[in-house]
Structure 1
């Protein structure tokens, strides 16, 4: 079982499991067409968001391959605690010690560096606590803010898949970014 110690704190964020009280903030994300534009999910109705919240509440640890650790990014931008996004880590392979990183931001809080803080914290959890060898992320090639963040995190672009799947009714391209545990360690050592 892989479970981080909660809460995970960064300079401005608390990363923690989702809770019932997070419905309104979650629906601001799941109900927004721009937020889900590059996600496999469609825009959620209020009932679909409630169901999604229930799933997230239970995604607090990894006990087997294919499972997702899904954490709320809580900030206090105006002095009030708000869920400004979510960060995820999927256990992609136990044998190969690989994980998949993802993040989603509420539109009102994009461009403030919260996603970077949360993604760095999740990379730390994956490499330093869970002992993963490689963490990768996939993103639509049109999602420049996402792949720009992956680049700033020090992940390298490993692949450009051209029309590799039908995404929301049309063939889409995607980039694959990755980082190895030794690259993470080197990056941490050189930044201190």
Structure 2
């Protein structure tokens, strides 16, 4: 899907090859990638990742309108069929705690429910990731369960919280 959404402060759009340097600010940042199973990327890996998005269309750049800077991205793709999607996010730490992640995620979720006709959106994070757990609650998602030791990382395992929201819950939240 080709995507272009706007909020008051942000643009959510397809990645462009020119985004590599700014995307390195979060994809190449150990703090930003701390709760993700993927490794911190080099510039070359970021450029390759963005190139793949030309056809794969799972990650979308989040751009600050004021400066036209890529400050993070959203993951949004089908999960168990076209009726259910998964959403995720990572942002440059310089832009944490400013509401950009929740503002962009809310816009993309609204688009998914209203324009794509999605029935359910899920998101996951580690129990220790306080910011993402809090944000999922603010987005109206409910905790459906905690999966113990489900993601292998380094020499151990991560637990994972599983959140979801149905279109009917979203519609009620927005009313």
TM-score by length of 2: 0.94
Aligned residue in 1 for 2:21: 24
2:68 paired with 1:81:
yes
Aligned residue in 2 for 1:51: 48
Contact 2:21 2:43 in 1 (8 A): no
Aligned residue in 2 for 1:179: 165
Q: Per the alignment, do residues 90 and 168 of structure 1 end up closer, same or farther by CA in structure 2, a change over 3 Å counting? A: farther
Q: Per the alignment, do residues 59 and 165 of structure 1 end up closer, same or farther by CA in structure 2, a change over 3 Å counting? A: closer
2:141 paired with 1:155:
yes
TM-score by length of 1: 0.86
Aligned residue in 1 for 2:30: 33
Alpha-carbon distance in structure 2 between the residues aligned to 1:157 and 1:47 = 37
Aligned residue in 2 for 1:63: none
Structure 2 runs not aligned, ≥5 long: none
Secondary structure of 2:98 counterpart: coil
Contact 1:86 1:103 in 2 (8 A): yes
Secondary structure of 1:118 counterpart: helix
Secondary structure of 1:125 counterpart: helix
Contact 2:126 2:160 in 1 (8 A): yes
